[in-house]
Structure 1
Amino acid sequence: MRFKNYIKKGVLEIIKRIHPPQESLLRRLAKRPSIVIRIPKSSESWIELGRKALSENQHHRAQEAFEKALEQNIKSSWAWHGLGDLHQHINQYEQALNAYSKACSFS
């Protein structure tokens, strides 16, 4: 059984590297929590989830996703930019400016 999970993990990692993570792929993977739990998500995946949540006005989910992206890559200018967009969207302009400044410093 372990070998089977190892193979699934390897195949999914290859898919993620060949094709940038897409929301539809993440949605399909989310239906298989036994696989998703074992595979660490890339910062790019978290950024995409944050953007999707922000577009749906799910601010708390968006913030969690951008913060997860930053946990994986603190120098991700895209994650900082997304966090800046979130703060701007909810009228937290000082925090938005700080996030945008960090995004610029890492680009």
Structure 2
Amino acid sequence: MSKENNNKKEEIDRTEVEELDEETLFVVSQTFKALSDPTRIRILHLLCEQEMSVNQIADTLELRQSTVSHQLRFLKNLRLVKYRRAGTTLFYSHDDEHVIDLLQQTIKHALHH
């Protein structure tokens, strides 16, 4: 392929790429922000395996309950975790399979890097 044809192909490819709107950019950046914190990664990784209460998460990860509650609130606001109520206890689980897949793939990549 000649250089001129290559340049035309690049121009066509660029015009086919959709520009991201502000809301999409915000959601993507917030998702990566959520995954940029080691404590939130640990919590999400734990919730990949099973549903847990704040106290169970805190005990398992050896964190203060207030730290776990704060991070869960952040993750819940991004709809990365959800909860169900059983009496007075809230049990948390992950709420976004795409983000969990991304997290697990990234962990696998890091382990084999």
TM-score (norm 1): 0.30
Which protein shows a greater Rg? 2
TM-score (norm 2): 0.28
Report the structure, 1 or 2, having the larger strand content.
2
Report the structure, 1 or 2, having the larger helix content.
1
State the structure with bigger RCO (CA 8 A, min sep 6), 1 or 2: 2
